[in-house]
Structure 1
Amino acid sequence: MNNLYQKIYGNLIKYENKKAAEIDKKYHKYDRHRSLGIKAGALDKLLKQYKTEVKNLSCKEAFALAQMLYKDKIEDTILAGNFVLQNKIDCIGKSKLPLLDKALDHFCSWSTIDDFCIDVLQPILLTYPKDTLRFLEKWNQSKNMWKRRTSVVAFVRKVGESGKFTDEALTLCENLISDKEDLVQKGVGWCLKDIMRGDKKKVLEYVKKLRKRSVPATITLYAIRDLKGSERVEILRK
């Protein structure tokens, strides 16, 4: 397992692009963001080389490898850690949720969080909803902005569109309505947009009420991205 870590890390370092990393930092709008500057497509191609080796790991080895990659606190290695867990998703039972909690302490960008939510956390949420929701509620109140973002981005895309967790997502979004962090606000808006696809009437009514409150415009503007024409204009007038 240590050998596999060295192989992955060593290969990533070979493709480091410091100029691209500086641009990447500005793009992510976070001072402590670190990356090797590897383009997404190239990173995916690099990681796929190790798919078979990762799948052959035991669950214990996979978690240890992911933790090593996360602890580097570099965008590219964190995404590599996500790749490991995504390919060993059957290993992640509800008893492993505390390990995911620790892993999030090492994240450094919205893109690593979003990737984690969609490829790692959502399958667990659908399999162990009650246990996962307890952790989302905990992260929702965390001092760590990335955990707060995770608590709502967990409901985007297909999970939001399913309508299965609309009430839970609305509660967690409401708790973050006054959050000062722009990247958390955008996460809330994205969550609202996608859960609106699952229950338009309920979520749209909630967003209309938000416009009457002193909430960051970022949230509502993200939330209504799917709306067109008069429906959108009506909300913006409020």
Structure 2
Amino acid sequence: MDSIISRIRKDLAESADPNTQQNFQRFFKEEIRYYGVKVPAVNKIANRYWKEIRSLDKQEIFALCEELYLSGYCEEAFVVSTWAPKLAARYEPSDIAVFRYWIDTYITNWATCDAFCNHTMGDFIEQFPEYIDELKRWTKSGNRWMRRAAAVSLIVPAKHGKFLNEAIGIADLLLTDSEDMVQKGYGWLLKEASRNHTDEIFTYVMRKRGVMPRTALRYAIELMPKEMKSEAMKRDW
């Protein structure tokens, strides 16, 4: 297992790109560790090593993921986000404890939050929808990335028309959150839900726009027709 981790790190270091390194510096407010590897290159590396580990026991794969997270490097977190959804057929309800711990302990920026939650958590919630109550509890966390995770874990299901009421419920719980990354997270969730439920999301936005931060509102209405956008953005409140 140590050999696999060492080889992954060697491949990432050798794939570093100066332009990508500059982009990392621009895109993040937080202090993060990174090699400077483009996402497609990270995915290629992750998929190559997946062929070596896919027959391992799930807990052994989880241990490898934990080792990658411990480094603090963004690209190593992306490897986890590539591997974890490949285990979807082996998910069990008890895995929520692992996923919760990873998010609360190792997620330190929007990119690693979204990469993990969109697919790993999205797949998990589709299999075990009773854990939406868990997401609702995350909205009360003191960790802003847990709060963002509560929203972005429903992004992919919402895009496909699922969990409308639950998405609105989570948006309601995060409605006045002071962190812009949380506002953008639930605004994005509403935007994806609006693909199949435009009228319902528009009604919600109009009802809440007096207290909804403008950042979240702009995200929520991004896909709506021009007239709806104009109506939602009117400064008559």
Give the TM-score of the pair, scaled to structure 2. Answer: 0.91
Q: Report the aligned-residue RMSD.
A: 1.8
Matched residue of 1:180: which SS?
A: coil
Deviations 1:188-225 (A, max 9, x none): 110011112232222211101222x1331011111010
Deviations 1:158-202 (A, max 9, x none): x11344311111111111111111111111110011112232222
Alignment of 1:1-238 (within 5 A): 1-17=1-17, 20-28=20-28, 30-104=29-103, 105-130=105-130, 132-157=131-156, 159-211=157-209, 213-237=210-234, 238=236
Aligned residue identity for 2:151: V
Counterpart contact for 1:153–1:187, Cα < 8 Å: yes
Q: Which moved more, 1:146-155 or 1:227-236?
A: 227-236
Counterpart contact for 1:24–1:35, Cα < 8 Å: yes
Aligned residue identity for 2:79: A
Counterpart contact for 2:17–2:38, Cα < 8 Å: no
Matched residue of 2:122: which SS?
A: helix
Question: Deviation of residue 39 (structure 1)?
Answer: 1.0
Aligned residue identity for 1:217: R
Distance across 2 between alignment mates of 1:2 and 1:90: 26
CA distance 1:145–1:25, change in 2 (3 Å): farther
Distance across 1 between alignment mates of 2:73 and 2:108: 7
Deviations 1:70-128 (A, max 9, x none): 12121101011122212222232111110111111201221211111222111111111
* Structure 2 residues not aligned, in runs of 5+: none
Distance across 1 between alignment mates of 2:195 and 2:124: 21
Counterpart contact for 2:151–2:171, Cα < 8 Å: yes
Counterpart contact for 2:198–2:224, Cα < 8 Å: no
CA distance 1:25–1:134, change in 2 (3 Å): farther
Distance across 1 between alignment mates of 2:31 and 2:139: 21
Question: Deviation of residue 19 (structure 1)?
Answer: 6.4
Counterpart contact for 1:210–1:220, Cα < 8 Å: no
Matched residue of 1:50: which SS?
A: helix
Aligned residue identity for 1:180: S
Between Structure 1 and Structure 2, how many residues are aligned?
A: 234
Counterpart contact for 1:18–1:36, Cα < 8 Å: no
Distance across 2 between alignment mates of 1:48 and 1:18: 23
Distance across 1 between alignment mates of 2:137 and 2:159: 24
Q: Which moved more, 1:110-119 or 1:140-149?
A: 110-119
Distance across 2 between alignment mates of 1:52 and 1:20: 27
Matched residue of 1:35: which SS?
A: coil
Distance across 1 between alignment mates of 2:224 and 2:45: 38
Matched residue of 1:49: which SS?
A: helix
Matched residue of 1:87: which SS?
A: helix
% same residue? 25
Give the TM-score of the pair, scaled to structure 1. Answer: 0.91
Counterpart contact for 1:5–1:65, Cα < 8 Å: yes
Distance across 2 between alignment mates of 1:154 and 1:106: 16
Runs of 4+ off more than 4 Å? none
Distance across 1 between alignment mates of 2:194 and 2:19: 39
